[in-house]
Amino acid sequence: MPASLPPKDDTTERLALPPAMLNRLAGSDLVGRGAVNVISIKAIRRWAGDWWDQKRTDVWTYVERKLNEHLDRADLRGRVSEDDFLIATHNDQGLSAQAASIRILEDVLTHLLGAAELKDIGVRSVIGIEPGGVVCRPIDPSVVLAARARRDSERSPFRADIDVSDEMRRTPVAFTTSGGAALRVDFALEHVIGLRRNVTTAIRVEPIVTHLGTGRSISGRAITKLADKDIAFIDEATLRYGAAFAKAAQGNERPDLVLPASFRTLGTQRGRDLLTGTSGLSLALLRGGVMIELVDVTRGTPAGRLLEVVGLLKALTRGVIARVPPDKEAFKHLRDARLAGLTLDACDLGGPAEKIAMDIMAFGREARGLAPMVSLQGLPAEGYFAAAETAGLSHASLRAAHPYAARNAA
């Protein structure tokens, strides 16, 4: 049993478990990963009233049918009280595991009560184990429901926890490049959707760079062709903007925060000092929920140096993601990097629809087994999510809307 238990307070509850189930949980890391939840059918019991004794067996049977329908064979599930069912998922954790539990409960409530009202969605996250049972904390289902949204909005999982005025002070920023071009950098948030549960598992900062002279946006790959000094400026501005959201990304129950930056910047000691020295990005916050996306990994990136830099960044953050081009050669030196994720950006896809589809499928094949998260990001339309699933990818995201365009649309 774990030596340390969550303190008793008004927000936690104790729930007794059968010894066999308790032993299985104690012998795993499921609780620590935020993969264990308890769903309650108290609303159905209240609705049944005096008829509960006659109806409960049918209700339990239906719940068990839904558990089997939504969960994998290896997942732990079972009734632990008159109206509580425990669910432990091996392939989902945090928000994703909560989304699976809420989806099951929604199906049960809709079938038996005609609707799944927010007040009836009772889900508790198991946060600790003690002799005889577990410690639970109720979760706010509205947070999980908001995480189903494909795009950033006022209801996004991060938005309830940040100071909007603080965010606005960090965007946009303008500067003049070494070559004399006047650029403006706006920042937006991109929801990274876990395709398995259709819920946001990460929020990615997207820098949108505009040439002030022409008003045209500059693609991600074009940005990588700027001078090192100019790229470092954009990276620093990105870190400062992302720092406003770092506290909202802490813990298994919140999406991670993904901050894109150049390998050329973070490959230097000064760049890594910038990462840990940015106000609002303490080492504890970085490790608690911030991932770095290296945006310029190509076939020309030195393999040894890449492994070294990834190792250093992994010690500072929750994990490292590599953005790669649709180029088979770019994958060869990634096998030993132990990356948290690989991503392909839609701006790197071009040509007829058939070629784009082939590139997506090739990315899925080459990335398989290299990282737990394999994502297709910056998609122009939701229809591409199906292509990502067909290619065996784990995540996908729509291109973040430009802040000014979004405000005008609103």
Give the integer Cα–Cα distance in Å for 42 and 49.
11
| pLDDT on residue 333 | 82
Considering only residues 337 and 62, tell me which one the structure prediction assigns the higher pLDDT: 62
Identify the weakest region by mean pLDDT among 154-158, 324-328, 337-341, 348-352. 154-158
CATH placement of domain 161-408: 3.20.20.450
Taking only the tens place, the pLDDT of each residue in 285-302 is 999 999 999 999 988 888
The mean of the pLDDT values for the chain is 90
Percent pLDDT > 70 in the chain is: 96
Segment 292-321 shows an average pLDDT of 93
Look at residue 140 and tell me whether its pLDDT is greater than 60.
yes
Q: Model confidence over 161-193: pLDDT tens digits?
A: 778 888 889 989 999 999 999 999 999 999 999
The answer to whether 81 touches 30, Cβ cutoff 8 Å, is: no
Domain 13-144: state its class: alpha beta
Asked whether the CA dihedral 287, 146, 234, 163 is positive or negative, the reply is negative
The predicted pLDDT at position 262 comes to 95
- Residue 327: predicted pLDDT: 87
Name the band, by pLDDT with cuts 50, 70 and 90, for residue 6: very low
Task: Please write the tens of the pLDDT for every residue from 376-407.
Answer: 999 998 989 999 999 999 999 999 887 755 55
The per-residue pLDDT for 9 is 52
CA gap 108, 59 in Å, rounded: 9
pLDDT band at 254 (very low <50, low <70, confident <90, very high): confident
Name, of 16-20, 36-40, 207-211, the range with top average pLDDT: 36-40
State which amino acid sits at residue 190.
E
The pLDDT value recorded for residue 68 is: 95
Handedness of CA 236, 238, 241, 244 (dihedral sign): negative
Nearest one of 159, 158, 162, 124 to 140, comparing CA atoms: 124
Query: What is residue 377's predicted lDDT score, i.e. its pLDDT?
Result: 95
pLDDT of residue 282 exceeding 50, the answer is yes
The whole-number average pLDDT for the span 326-350 is 89
- Residues 163, 143: Cα–Cα separation, whole Å: 18
- Between the alpha carbon of residue 14 and those of residues 5, 9, 32, 134, the distances in Å are 12, 11, 17, 6
Above 50 in pLDDT, residue 243?
yes
SS3 letters across the chain: CCCCCCCCCCCCEEEECCHHHHHHHHCCCCCCCCCEEEEECHHHHHHHHHHHHHHHHHHHHHHHHHHHHHCCCCCEEEECCCCEEEEECCCCCHHHHHHHHHHHHHHHHHHHHCCCCHHHCEEEEEEEEECCEEEEEECCHHHHHHCCCCCCCCCCCCHHHCCHHHHHHCCCEEEECCCCCEEEEEEEEEEEEECCCCEEEEEEEEEEEEECCCCCEECHHHHCCCCHHHHHHHHHHHHHHHHHHCHHHCCCCCCEEEEEECHHHHCCHHHHHHHHHCCCCCHHHHHHHEEEEECCCCCCCCHHHHHHHHHHHHHHCCEEEEECCCCHHHHCCCCCCCCCEEEEEHHHCCCCHHHHHHHHHHHHHHHCCCCCEEEEEEECCCCHHHHHHHCCCCEEEECCCCHHHHHHHC
Q: Which of 77-86, 146-155, 222-231 has the lowest mean pLDDT?
A: 146-155
Contact call for residues 71 and 132 (beta carbons, < 8 A) = no
Q: What is the pLDDT of residue 112?
A: 95
pLDDT (0 to 100) of residue 328 = 87
Q: 2-6, 37-41, 173-177, 275-279: which has the minimum mean pLDDT? A: 2-6
Nearest-angstrom CA–CA distance, 354 and 298: 24
CATH 3.20.20.450 domain span(s) along the chain: 161-408
